[in-house]
Structure 1
């Protein structure tokens, strides 16, 4: 049986249009500072009313970077007064009348400068899992953009994927759960398509869309019930400390259920309002607007109200069931979802790249460049890094055959058999273009499967190479001045200087870390510092040193925490705890 098409509701369509309007009407950064190979210029995103350390409210908060046009910086001279220099360990510090203006590092091209304050944030991408895979390790495997499904209760064999659907083997009186790992979701608009391969006998069976789940014993759920008589009901429930609580009584939404009938369940959480509806799937049909349940949790104890949590599925054959059908899940869709406490990095640091490494000498040419940069708001390293994260608007370049050169990127397509993602998407493959590398005389042919995607080193090469102008090579001429293709070679032979090297099995000190530095991680058996690479973005609202990188689990560039916290100073690994992956896997810090 082929999977019927999913038809969004009017509300879903409006959400999508609002997202396009927010991104399309307010492009963040469509200009390039690397003039030789750049798209047409546009401006950074304004966000009226931005002030203080908090992210601005409204739909613009989904944009990955915001600048306050009312910042006094925009109305003052730059630089402010005469420039003075001071030698500091490893380089030179340049100041004007307002304080430190720029910092240069001897041997590196990267320069940090003071500029208008910016806000870098991220919100959760929409996710749709159609289960079109056969995970090699069993279970339900990895969900596109949502991490790996975890299963609770029963045995591993009770959860499997086959023929474009996920399945749960039910047992009378036993609940079965499968949850996505992201427990930070607050508001959401989500749906799932369910079915059973036969009518139950002896007692009802049910499938529920779970949301705001702290764990399997504490969550909300919209439960679709099928009785032995073929009646279909929907109830809105809460599981509190392993005890079910009815929030809104069962409503009959259909009769005459037959084996393999498909039913959708929709949930919506907006603040404290919980809503749910269900409808029978009809090919070509539309989702109804009627909500069968619309309630507020009556709980008075705030600790027992679930404001954030994970999304998942629960299957149950009630006690007394003598025939327990196989539970089938064809789609799980998060049309929209927000993190209640998204990562937020705020500072006034801009990162630029010199045409040649700084030799430690303050010359008229260097002074002229610093003066020009002092008032420059064209895209820098951090702006370009943000232009491939979630909700970044797409920008095409007529000079490059109309190729998309900026906009939200994936990591790679999921393998059609296993659902896993593979390494290999370089910067030019994101654009769908073959590429010549003058520095080494190499030529690369773009794999069409990688169009719109960037792996971790491809992402860094896109930012520092394609946009900021550092020459690139593939697999020849690792001379310490160019950007090689692989992260292990970038760590060992990349341009600039090593700021810190922890050595085999050790994380380095973070004392010398600066915004814009490139960080390398040991996540590869073959190389102590070659498994992963990212760019340090600054300190978040909780003191975490955030980096941005392109990763498989969140499917693309991210500074958020799906699939591992994107911080360098998190919990270390101990004898009793695995700690935060990227904190203990950090090995090398390099300044290009």
Structure 2
């Protein structure tokens, strides 16, 4: 099998994905050039600070009112110019400036085109098979087996971290999370690692293993949490008399204050009664409610705005978690149990946005350094082409990308939000799926004569980091692929380490034991990392390239963003859950310090 041509169903879905701005939409327009694996845009330019009209829910947006769409392309005769430096590049200009840049030895070309906004909002789908159920966007049911203490990794929101008390006070048991309250008057917190969540709707189902004696015990759902000493929380208080009281609090600099006073929601609590706590944060409005499992969900029992006038003391964004406390005088030990943690809506307060007019397309053969009439004709045709390029395809597997099937490939899904891999029994993700496994199809590789049989169905809808790069540059953009043979500098291997060492194109920059210079980096370049450089584990040895992604451009903060498929966010991302997807961050940032090779396919 080889990369298919677009079917009508795919064209229409891609048009929808192109997005809407200023009240209009512009499809990825098919053209004569679209049948050939394409190419795109030029320089890294500073983006507009404004977010796209979609608010981050469409991975890539074009502005239908952009004057580019109403001008001639190219605008005048094409003039080539050899650029100084390494690798050798040819810059092609028309009457409006630089139109394209070609690199000797590489097939990718950057082109000037209509401006686009690439962005990403919070992912809420735990697993691809759960996408159709809007009420189960994110659910941590704690159904995993861990060795040792803690709550492990939670789908889509990162790892649970625990704070205060002993490590053994936090553990999983029989499909529930437990906080062991072994001492009184000591708050215990379990927090998710995603600290950028702004607006959110979340709920937790909790209980105690006994009715408190001596003094009350409480369980709270925390939100907009900067840390354990700065957060909002909706708190259930269980009293020795069997009362259940519910209030909304704020803790600021380790000082707790009541935002909305306690209401009594029950007078007959018994051990193992399950109670739901739900919170909602929309802008500055905070709401909370609580109810016994099996009873009707009540109206919001607390609804207000934070009265604080100092913006620095209002929590616009943070993480979520659980807080438990046995008040002074309570009889311990006692367990707070959490059975489900659900998030039905969540948005990052400041999603990453990359905006520029660069498109990335692919020549049928590597550029040999000679400007020819055939190349002039091809670049001229691409100048007005808005069919999908490499950056568009890279966006089509990120959050909120629509599912697209291809009749030419047995109606397999060929585009749509991807995961990284299924979870194992401990809730961890392992090296995942190649491009054809995402589509649940066997595949033949003409470049090497190799064949991959029917994949395990468990990989359907998933892409690991190198599989994602192969999906974009191999399957969609037409660079020939191989599995374990013919690593000849023209074909695209399966593994990131082989793509780095023997992949197609040319090495732009390389470092040994440290990150190389970013001076020659261009949009569309493939970046490779030794992400486990500090590891001494035989399973993840340092000193070996083990991760890869595609450089997308500069964001609104001046950070150089790349998109890659990763375990913690469970799939392709250009955002920062688990680690920052940036190349020029702080010296200690994982991908900034572990970059090793930049290759231009």
Q: TM-score, normalised by structure 2?
A: 0.89
1:465 positional shift:
0.3
8 Å contact 2:19–2:58 — kept in the other structure? no
8 Å contact 1:317–1:324 — kept in the other structure? no
Q: Please give the per-residue CA displacement for 1:272-326, whole angstroms capped at 9, x wherever unaligned.
A: 11100011112xx6644x0000011111222211111111110111111024421
Q: Please give the per-residue CA displacement for 1:332-375, whole angstroms capped at 9, x wherever unaligned.
A: 11211111111000000000000000000111111111011100
Choose 246-255 or 517-526, whichever is displaced more.
517-526
Equivalent residue, structure 2, for 1:163: 174
Q: Pick closer, same or farther for the CA change 1:167–1:527 going to 2, 3 Å.
A: closer
1:135 positional shift:
2.4
**Counterpart Cα distance in 2 of 1:269 and 1:58:** 22
Q: Pick closer, same or farther for the CA change 1:373–1:59 going to 2, 3 Å.
A: closer
**Counterpart Cα distance in 2 of 1:155 and 1:325:** 14
Is 1:407 the counterpart of 2:424 in the alignment?
no
**Counterpart Cα distance in 1 of 2:208 and 2:262:** 19
Q: Which residues in structure 2 correspond to 1:343-422 (within 5 Å)?
A: 343-415=352-424, 417-422=425-430
**Counterpart Cα distance in 1 of 2:178 and 2:523:** 46
8 Å contact 2:52–2:117 — kept in the other structure? no
8 Å contact 2:507–2:600 — kept in the other structure? yes
Is 1:335 the counterpart of 2:344 in the alignment?
yes
1:36 positional shift:
4.5
Equivalent residue, structure 2, for 1:541: 556
1:561 positional shift:
0.3
Count of residue pairs the alignment pairs up: 549
8 Å contact 1:488–1:527 — kept in the other structure? no
**Counterpart Cα distance in 2 of 1:527 and 1:477:** 26
Q: Pick closer, same or farther for the CA change 1:487–1:286 going to 2, 3 Å.
A: farther
| Cα RMSD (Å) | 1.7
Q: Pick closer, same or farther for the CA change 1:286–1:122 going to 2, 3 Å.
A: farther
**Counterpart Cα distance in 1 of 2:263 and 2:52:** 37
**Counterpart Cα distance in 1 of 2:249 and 2:578:** 29
**Counterpart Cα distance in 1 of 2:485 and 2:210:** 61
Is 1:258 the counterpart of 2:305 in the alignment?
no
Q: Which residues in structure 2 correspond to 1:141-160 (within 5 Å)?
A: 141-160=152-171
* Alignment partner of 2:318 out of 309, 322, 334: 309
Equivalent residue, structure 2, for 1:440: 448
1:174 positional shift:
1.3
Q: Which residues in structure 2 correspond to 1:164-203 (within 5 Å)?
A: 164-170=175-181, 171-203=183-215
* Alignment partner of 2:59 out of 61, 64, 73: 64
Equivalent residue, structure 2, for 1:28: none
Q: Which residues in structure 2 correspond to 1:372-521 (within 5 Å)?
A: 372-415=381-424, 417-445=425-453, 446-503=455-512, 505-521=513-529
* Alignment partner of 2:239 out of 227, 247, 257: 227
Q: Please give the per-residue CA displacement for 1:42-61, whole angstroms capped at 9, x wherever unaligned.
A: 32524232898244566553
Equivalent residue, structure 2, for 1:552: 567
**Counterpart Cα distance in 1 of 2:555 and 2:384:** 25
Equivalent residue, structure 1, for 2:146: 135
**Counterpart Cα distance in 2 of 1:370 and 1:50:** 31
Q: Please give the per-residue CA displacement for 1:432-486, whole angstroms capped at 9, x wherever unaligned.
A: 1111111111111312111100000000000000000001111111111111110
Equivalent residue, structure 1, for 2:74: 79
Q: Pick closer, same or farther for the CA change 1:427–1:55 going to 2, 3 Å.
A: farther
* Alignment partner of 1:123 out of 109, 121, 124: 121
Q: Secondary structure at the match of 1:352?
A: strand
Q: Pick closer, same or farther for the CA change 1:487–1:57 going to 2, 3 Å.
A: closer
8 Å contact 2:21–2:52 — kept in the other structure? no
Q: Please give the per-residue CA displacement for 1:16-35, whole angstroms capped at 9, x wherever unaligned.
A: xxxxxxxxxxxxxxxxx965
Q: Secondary structure at the match of 2:168?
A: helix
Equivalent residue, structure 2, for 1:248: 260
**Counterpart Cα distance in 2 of 1:159 and 1:103:** 56
Q: Secondary structure at the match of 2:431?
A: coil
Q: Secondary structure at the match of 1:220?
A: strand
Equivalent residue, structure 2, for 1:27: none
* Alignment partner of 2:217 out of 176, 183, 205: 205
Q: TM-score, normalised by structure 1?
A: 0.90
8 Å contact 1:529–1:588 — kept in the other structure? no
Q: Flag structure 1 segments of 5+ consecutive residues without an equivalent.
A: 1-32, 573-578
**Counterpart Cα distance in 2 of 1:303 and 1:70:** 38
Q: Secondary structure at the match of 1:538?
A: strand
Equivalent residue, structure 2, for 1:99: 97
**Counterpart Cα distance in 2 of 1:199 and 1:140:** 24
**Counterpart Cα distance in 1 of 2:384 and 2:148:** 54
Q: Which has the higher contact order (CA 8 A, sep 6+)?
A: 2
**Counterpart Cα distance in 1 of 2:221 and 2:95:** 59
8 Å contact 2:52–2:61 — kept in the other structure? no
Q: Secondary structure at the match of 2:598?
A: strand
**Counterpart Cα distance in 2 of 1:364 and 1:255:** 85
